[in-house]
Amino acid sequence: SADGGINLSLDAIPMGLPMSDPAAWTTAMNNLGMAPMGMTGQPLLPDFDPALGVMTGIPPINPMMPGLGIVPPPIPPDMPAVKEIIHCKSCTLFPPNPHLPPPATRERPPGCKTVFVGGLPENGTEQIIMEVFEQCGEVIAIRKSKKNFCHIRFAEEFMVDKALYLSGYRIRLGSSTDKKDTGRLHVDFAQARDDLYEWECKQRMLAREERHRRRLEEERFRPPSPPPVVHYSDHECSVVAEKLKEWRAFQRGGELPDDTKFLEAIQTLLTWIERGEVNRRTANNFYSMIQSANSHIRRLVNEKAAHEKEMEEAKEKFKLALSGILVQFEQIVAVYHSASKQKAWDHFTKAQRKNISVWCKQAEEIRNIHNDELMGIRREEEMEMSDEEIEDPSEMKETEESALVSQVEALKEENDSLRWQLDAYRNEVELLKQEQGKASRDEDTTKEQQMKLLQQALQGMQKHLLKVQDEYKKREAELEKVREDKLKIETLLENLKEQESSASRACACSQEKECPAEKTLSNSPVKSEREVLLVGIISTFLHVHPFGASIEYICSYLQRLDSKICTAEVEVLMTRLQNTFRQELSGVGASLEKRWKFCGFDGLKMT
């Protein structure tokens, strides 16, 4: 640029011209932070680092970057750029005074590849201009004016930045000092229609690519449109009917059909019905297709049952695996507990003990979580089993009755469907009769055959209808029998309840009669000689233990004498004798304990 801060790389510059003073060119390129190249393509300074320049504050710029929008970094005001003499074959370029301000430039036009060069010598030719500026890059055209200026068009935009570096240099042709052989170069951006046209073409191409990319992205994320549904015709109707009937063939032992065909057929049938394709002529075809679709319900129920069975098997596998994991957790926790005992604990270091205790806590927490999960699964299974056991015979009868009712309803629906089919066949017969009078004699034979076929079909349908009616009557009779059995079972249950209530009343009366005798027996606290012996032994035992003893301790002593003695019997006997034995509480909080003491001497004074 005008301030001299643009790199001028020779990687892309054809160096076919000899340099009379390579040291000056090297110094100038080194100031720009670029590796100078010789005529043979070898670097003039082998130890040159392109990331570092002689002048601090001028960072290196990649000369291959596009020139559009590039603004060179500013040079500090206290650090002027140092430019060296450049020797060419026919001329010499002398740098400007570094203390002078940089030459002014106009605003860079978009896509600029053309520069204005003013201040040329009067004797300067296109060959000399080409010699100077071809070092900046490939020159496409030079338009030289009769006056001392010209326009140079380069192949790329970044070459313009290299040419601007030469702005301010004084040019001298050969060794002449004539004014016509000298001049001061002024290089600036030029606005050319060719550059603007190419830049606009490039922008339009980028915009097209961007639109194409966005369109591809939108098409990639757009959901696929559903396939179009064919219009109704007799041929398409037969194709859809065959697809719907494939599962019937599979249930009779055929090959497994594809679900996609069934879904396509159902969608087509739904679309036809919504379009209004059902009329008097096509009603039978649509009814047969709907009936075929209805037959798929049984298949779906069977598939659901199979999936539920698989789910149950998976639950069983999960429960078995969880129980195995719990067993392994128990073993690991047992290892931790055994390692925590005094015998092995003393041999571990402090850090090892800490790790073992932390591991033990973690293992116990995980074990408890898995154990709770397993117990929850078992509780759910027990609840399900209990719900199944609660069902009584009356509910079983109700389920059987509901099944019979559903079968009767299904038979009714089938009966109605058969009647509708009969009506449809009759309508077809009437239509055929009407068409028979209008048709020619050649068609009479075919229509008579159709009539015969329809009559045979009607006869078959009537026979089937009679069979269905007979089955319907039989099922109604079975339903009435089931209802009678249910009434008998309910009467039996009521009789059993009455018998149970009478038996409970009789037991209550007998208990009331036995109560007076028990009251007479219970007047004395000691009822038998055995209890007298127990009182004597307990008194002797407690007299030896003045601070008292627990009921378990007393019973353990008595069971040595007689193993049939139980704790409840001894406790009831001692509570009856309040003047002989007294119960006291000792301890605090969790160590609270009940103790029995002998108080017969005090009780003797009180009685």
Q: Do domains 86-201 and 529-604 have the same CATH topology?
A: no
Q: Assess whether pLDDT exceeds 70 at residue 229.
A: yes
Q: Hey, what's the torsion of the CAs at 453, 459, 464, 469, to 10 degrees?
A: 150
Query: What is the reported pLDDT for 387?
Result: 59
Q: What is the mean pLDDT of the chain?
A: 78
pLDDT the model gives residue 10: 35
Instruction: Count the neighbouring beta carbons within 10 Å of the beta carbon of residue 215.
Output: 10
Neighbour order of strands in the sheet with 149-154: 139-144, 149-154, 114-118, 186-189
Confidence band, pLDDT 50/70/90 cuts, at residue 5:
very low
Q: Which residues of 49-72 are buried (b: 16+ CB within 10 A; e: fewer)?
A: eeeebebeebebbebeeebeebeb
Of 331, 482, 459, nearest to 405 (Cα)? Answer: 482
Whether domain 86-201 has CATH 3.30.70.330: the reply is: yes
- Per-residue pLDDT reduced to its tens digit, 243-278: 888 765 555 555 555 677 888 888 888 888 888 888
Integer CA distances (angstroms), 348 to 260, 338, 352, 358, 442, in order: 68, 13, 6, 14, 112
Q: What is the mean pLDDT of residues 283-295?
A: 86
Distance CA(583)–CA(604), nearest Å, equals: 17
Does residue 601 carry a pLDDT above 60? yes
Structure tokens belonging to residue 573: 């006997």
Residue 47 predicted with pLDDT over 60: no
Alpha-carbon Rg for the chain, nearest whole angstrom, is 57
Residue 53 has pLDDT above 80, yes or no: no
Phi, psi of 154 (to 5 degrees): -100, 170
Specify the CATH number of the domain 529-604: 1.10.10.10
Q: What is the mean pLDDT of residues 277-287?
A: 88
In 3D space, the residue among 584, 480, 502, 570 whose CA is nearest the CA of residue 533 turns out to be 570
Does residue 507 or residue 130 have the better pLDDT?
A: 130
Task: Encode pLDDT of 415-451 as tens digits.
Answer: 877 887 787 778 778 777 777 766 666 667 787 888 8
Burial 353-389 (b: 16+ CB within 10 A, else e): eeebeeebeebeeebeeeeeebeeeeeeeeeeeeeee
Regarding beta strands 186-189 and 182-184, do their DSSP bridges make them parallel or antiparallel, or are they unpaired?
unpaired
Instruction: Report the alpha-carbon distance of residue 95 to residue 167 in Å, rounded.
Output: 9
CB 177 within 8 A of CB 168: no
What gap in Å lies between CA 408 and CA 28, rounded to an integer? 108
What amino acid is encoded at 40 in this protein?
A: T
Q: What is the pLDDT of residues 537-556, one digit of tens each?
A: 888 888 888 888 888 888 98
Most distant CA atoms of the chain, gap in Å? 161
Domain extents for the chain?
86-201, 234-311, 320-379, 529-604
Q: Take residue 407 and report the two structure tokens written for it.
A: 């079968």
Q: How far apart are CA 242 and CA 305, in angstroms?
A: 27
Q: Which residue has the higher pLDDT, 101 or 401?
A: 101
Instruction: Give the model's pLDDT for residue 118.
Output: 94
Q: How far apart are CA 500 and CA 152, in angstroms?
A: 124
> What pLDDT score was predicted for residue 438?
67
CA–CA separation, 15 and 41 (whole Å): 8
Mapped onto helix, strand or coil, the DSSP state of residue 471 is helix
Q: What is the pLDDT of residues 21-43, one digit of tens each?
A: 444 445 544 444 444 444 344 44
Q: How far apart are CA 380 and CA 387, in angstroms?
A: 11
Q: Which of 113-117, 568-572, 590-594 has the lowest mean pLDDT?
A: 590-594
Q: pLDDT digits over 343-399, tens only?
A: 888 888 888 888 888 998 888 888 888 888 888 887 887 777 665 555 555 556 566
Q: What is the pLDDT of residues 159-201, one digit of tens each?
A: 999 999 899 999 998 887 788 889 999 999 999 999 999 999 9
Compute CA distances 305 → 273, 296, 300, 308, 411, whole Å. Answer: 32, 14, 9, 5, 24
